[in-house]
Structure 1
Amino acid sequence: MIQPSLLKKQRLLLILFSVLILLTVVIGMGIGDAPLSYNRLIPTLLGQGTFKEEFVLFSIRLPRLIVTLLAGMALALSGAILQGITRNDLADPGIIGINAGAGIAVAIAFLFIPIELGSFVYFIPIVAFVGALLTAILIYLFSYSKTTGLSPVRLVLVGIGFSSALSGAMIVIISSAEREKVDFIANWLAGNIWGADWPFIWAILPWLVILIPFTLYKAHRLNLLGLSEPVAIGVGLSIEKERIVLLLTAVALAASAVSVTGGISFIGLLAPHIAKALVGPRNQLFIPIAILLGGWILVFADTIGHNLIEPNGIPAGIMVAFIGAPYFIYLLLKK
């Protein structure tokens, strides 16, 4: 049974981070190459702005902010699931190579498969999912032992190895490509939010609408997977079946996010850790907070990075890495 005090603390934190997200989004709507006066935001949102104000808000700012928020939520939830099924606090879809698998699949599709512009938005998440899934399966197989089961330490090491190998393969693939396509892939790898338009929101939103409630439904099983295997088996849990189902969920979330934001790491590491520190390790408690935290971190990083240096700013992936890389090293030394 969850203590009432923890539930109360969770509700307060959910309200706090929701307000924080709202404030950051409002700030993001007002700043940029074409500043929008804050006292004109509400009239513009209600359809009472000038053509320029409505174009800047609805065609440039708002889609980017929403895409970034949804992607951050997806990456945070993916990281929380991976940490639960592997019992490894260092697991993150970017660190263990899943994002790299999605990226190389997107690069191959973008360079070599003729795709109609209208179907490109919805095709890319599927391609990313296939690449991420194949990578996750290979990482799982190389990390699994018949005698000891899934080794959490080996999983991280194998994942880092796959990530490096796939990054090298990416360089080979794009070395002979056209300059324009190479520029796009380079921006993708840096974590530059490229899918900043309304169709990309409709491409990523269904994944979250389905998989967030599904993960919360599976939260109790994630708690059991976090225990030792004899305990989980003793209460009747089918460990391998649950791991596979939840691994597919984590892969789908990561792939849907990186297909529109590019290669962003560390969100899935940072958000679950901070959430656990606030409300404890129970998945029912920390996952909702981690989802909001992941969304806010990515929105904050992109808003700062996008407006820091003219003309194109710093990619969100690099801004997140400034925070996440030192934290990853700290956890690596600690664990």
Structure 2
Amino acid sequence: MNLPPYSAAAARTKKRALVVYLVLGTLIMLFFLISINTGQVRLSPAALWQTLWGNGTAREELILFEFRLPRIVVALLIGTGFAVSGCILQGLTRNALAEPGILGINAGAGLAVILFISYFPDNQSASVYALPFIAFLGAGLTAALIYILSVKRDGELSPSRLLVTGVAVAAAIASLILVLTIRLDPAQYQFVSIWLAGSIRGSSWQFVIALLPWLALLIPLVLLKSQVLNILALGDLTASGLGANVPRQRMALLAIAVALAGSCVAVGGGIAFVGLIAPHLARRLVGPQHQYALPVSALLGALLLIVADAVSRMIFTSGEIPTGIVVALIGAPYFLMLLAKGKR
């Protein structure tokens, strides 16, 4: 069997990735326009165009610039962050089922946020910017606990043990969150229950400003480390033989994944499965090389969440359901399908 030269195969992969970038970018723009005009109040194309150029009415400008645009931007950012975080975790653990929500990282971030809201309910404007740091702390402590419980005695990370440990820790934290929410007053309980379900309703430009720096800093950093992820995905022994400092690089990448997931949880709540679906589909489209899989995962995550957010507003004309529930309706069957495939 004659295999094509590496340069030819690499060129084909790069060309395919460029096509995927273009298609996904086009779909995101399409659903961006659809999402702008989705809601209880419809904006005609002419009114939308005039409002975008500053010629709309005060009501149309309020709807577009204060309600819909920040919500759409937040959905795109959260989808991107969760997807990149999931792609990193799947590469580090060599497990296609690894995802911030399934591994308990989202639960740890959520617990920290709920504790902060419970004991520091005042000064809401400051808490918007503080929540990503609080969530990162909770997610980091949870990830450290899961990591310690999953590492074997010889120092090698066990992917199967990581998944089981993550699920167990997530269940324990979920029980603790339930106890805490029962003790909240009615107003706080309503906010926390909706937030835990994964709602981006009520997003404002404050949330965009709070989340954007995290993604703008961390995503380019992980793209620069894409080749390191490729090496670590080969296994600890092989990576060490190629000269990689496995513990140091793994901890650095794990910290990036935790920070991305934690900041997204702080703004969007407990949205799960984005970090599972997007990286898995990305590898199917462009292969396992992370210099291509990471950008495609980011685009797929953004597309998935903007579609889910639009659908959440389309289902009921008089209201909406949390975006996280729509994503779960897609992600849970997909997760079960991957589990079924793993048994074959």
TM-score normalised to structure 2 length: 0.95
**Tell me, what secondary structure is at the counterpart of 1:34?**
coil
**Tell me, what secondary structure is at the counterpart of 2:13?**
helix
**Tell me, what secondary structure is at the counterpart of 2:271?**
coil
Q: Does 1:217 align with 2:258?
A: no
Report the equivalent of 2:138.
131
Runs (4+) off by over 2 Å: none
Report the equivalent of 1:331.
338
Q: Does 1:257 align with 2:253?
A: no
**Tell me, what secondary structure is at the counterpart of 1:145?**
coil
What is the deviation of 1:278?
A: 0.6
**Tell me, what secondary structure is at the counterpart of 2:43?**
coil
For 2:280, the aligned partner's letter is: H
Report the equivalent of 1:47.
54
Report the equivalent of 2:299.
292
Q: How many residues align?
A: 335
Q: Does 1:104 align with 2:111?
A: yes
What is the deviation of 1:115?
A: 4.0
Query: Do the aligned residues in 1 keep the contact of 2:38 with 2:313 (CA within 8 Å)?
Result: no
What is the deviation of 1:192?
A: 1.1
Distance (Å, rounded) in 2 between the aligned partners of 1:195 and 1:226: 39
Report the equivalent of 2:312.
305
For 1:140, the aligned partner's letter is: Y
Query: Do the aligned residues in 2 keep the contact of 1:67 with 1:195 (CA within 8 Å)?
Result: no
Distance (Å, rounded) in 2 between the aligned partners of 1:306 and 1:25: 14
Report the equivalent of 1:169.
176
Report the equivalent of 1:74.
81
Q: Does 1:149 align with 2:156?
A: yes
Q: Does 1:322 align with 2:313?
A: no
Distance (Å, rounded) in 1 between the aligned partners of 2:183 and 2:163: 32
**Tell me, what secondary structure is at the counterpart of 2:95?**
coil
- Unaligned runs of at least 5 residues, structure 1: none
Report the equivalent of 1:94.
101
Distance (Å, rounded) in 2 between the aligned partners of 1:221 and 1:195: 39
Identity of aligned residues (%): 44
For 1:297, the aligned partner's letter is: L
Distance (Å, rounded) in 2 between the aligned partners of 1:115 and 1:207: 24
What is the deviation of 1:194?
A: 4.0
Report the equivalent of 1:28.
35
Shift in alpha-carbon separation, 1:194–1:125, aligned structure 2, 3 A? farther
For 2:80, the aligned partner's letter is: M
What is the deviation of 1:307?
A: 2.4
Query: Do the aligned residues in 2 keep the contact of 1:194 with 1:262 (CA within 8 Å)?
Result: no
**Tell me, what secondary structure is at the counterpart of 1:185?**
helix
Report the equivalent of 2:12.
5
What is the deviation of 1:310?
A: 4.0
Distance (Å, rounded) in 2 between the aligned partners of 1:333 and 1:161: 20
Shift in alpha-carbon separation, 1:146–1:115, aligned structure 2, 3 A? farther
- Unaligned runs of at least 5 residues, structure 2: 1-6
What is the deviation of 1:326?
A: 0.9
For 1:89, the aligned partner's letter is: A
Q: Does 1:232 align with 2:248?
A: no
TM-score normalised to structure 1 length: 0.98
Distance (Å, rounded) in 2 between the aligned partners of 1:299 and 1:285: 22
Query: Do the aligned residues in 2 keep the contact of 1:189 with 1:263 (CA within 8 Å)?
Result: yes
What is the deviation of 1:99?
A: 0.4
Which residue of the other structure, out of 201, 210, 214, is the alignment partner of 1:207? 214
Report the equivalent of 1:185.
192
Distance (Å, rounded) in 2 between the aligned partners of 1:210 and 1:115: 29
Distance (Å, rounded) in 2 between the aligned partners of 1:40 and 1:22: 19
What is the deviation of 1:31?
A: 1.8
Distance (Å, rounded) in 2 between the aligned partners of 1:176 and 1:228: 46
What is the deviation of 1:39?
A: 2.2
**Tell me, what secondary structure is at the counterpart of 1:150?**
coil
Distance (Å, rounded) in 2 between the aligned partners of 1:149 and 1:11: 36
Distance (Å, rounded) in 1 between the aligned partners of 2:242 and 2:38: 54
Q: Identify which range, 185-194 or 292-301, moves more after superposition.
A: 185-194
